[in-house]
Amino acid sequence: MDSMIGVIGGSGLYDIDGLEGATWVKVTTPWGKPSDEILVGRLSGTPMAFLPRHGRGHVHAPSDINYRANIDALKRLGCTDIVAVSAVGSLREDYRPGDFVSVDQYIDRTFARTKSFFGAGCVAHVGFSDPTCPRLSDAVARAVPAGITLHRNATYIAMEGPQFSTRAESNLYRSWGADVIGMTAMPEAKLAREAELCYASLAMVTDYDCWHQGHAAVDVAQVIRTLTANAAQARDTVARLPAILAGDGPGGHTRPSCPHGCDHVLGTALMTAPAKRDPDLLAKLDAVAGRVLKG
C-alpha cells in the first residue's frame, strides 16, 4: 500500500505551505459535502491531502461539521494516515498556552452529531480502547520542532459547544482527570477508526478554559492570538512528517501494515449477516468499508 498523509487543520490552520503541484479538488461523497475542497499535492515526494476542518474562512461551527463526509473524502482520495490538528483549552496548570499536546484518550461529551458510518442495515462495532494510533502519534511527536513544549499521553474531553465551558463544568472535567478540552475531536476519531485509517491528534493549547483563577476566562481573541503564534510550528511539524514516516517504513513511500491493526479493524466488526445487509447503505460504504465488503 502506498502511503498518503491526510491533514485535518483546525482553528488557525487553513492551508499547508510547500506542497508540490498543490491543487484544490472537490470530492463528492455519499454522506454530503466535506467542509471544503481538499488541497492535494506532494510534500517531500509523499502524497498529502489537506482539509480545513472548519472550511476556509472558518464557516462551519463544531456541531455543523460534516465529519462523515470529511473522513470519507480523505479515504476516497487514498489517505492512509490522518493527522488532526486542533485548538484546545488546558485543564492543567503545567499545560500552558503555546504548548503542543499529543492526545491518546478521549472522553466524548458531544450529543448532537452522527457518530458512525454504520447503522440499520449494516451494524458494526469497532474496537476503540486505544483511539489514536501509537505508531502515527509517535511520528507526529518526533516531528514537533525543537524548542516547543510537547505533552504526551493526554486525555481530551470533547464538548458539544459552540459555547465555552461554565466554571463548574471546567472543574468537573479536571476532577475526572482530563488534560485538555476541545469541540472537534469527536466523532472525527471514531469515524477514522471505522474507515480503517490511522489517526493521530496534535492539539495546540490556547488558554486555560475558565477554571484558572489567575487567568481570564477564554475568549476568541485570546485563542486567535495564540494560534497565530503557533501556526508556523504546526506547519513545520507537518513538513517533517513525510521523512519520519518514510524512515519508519520499508523505504520509498510504501506503507507497511499498521502494527496496531488500525487498518484492519473492520475484519471482525461487522455484525449483520450478509443476506440482511441494506444494499443502499453498502453502496454508501464503498470507500470506508470497501476492503471487507468486497471480500
- Residues annotated within the binding site are 11, 53-54, 86-87, 183-184, 207-209
**What is the radius of gyration, based on Cα positions, of the chain?**
18
Show binding-site residues for phosphate. Answer: 11, 53-54, 86-87, 184
Which among 207, 236, 248, 278 is annotated as catalytic?
A: 207
146 Cβ contact list (under 8 Å, min separation 6): none
Q: How far apart are CA 15 and CA 28, in angstroms?
A: 20
Identify the sign of the CA torsion 167, 170, 176, 179: negative
Show binding-site residues for substrate. Answer: 183, 207-209
Long-range contacts of 171-174 (CB under 8 A, 24+ apart): 171/211, 173/91, 173/107, 174/91, 174/92, 174/211
209 is catalytic: yes
Q: How far apart are CA 74 and CA 90, in angstroms?
A: 29
Look at residues 10, 241, 9 and name the one whose alpha carbon lies nearest to residue 142.
Answer: 241
179 is catalytic: no
Which among 130, 209, 248, 280 is annotated as catalytic?
A: 209
User: What single letter denotes the amino acid at residue 157?
Assistant: I
Q: Which residues pair with 151 in a beta bridge?
A: 101
Active site residues: 207, 209
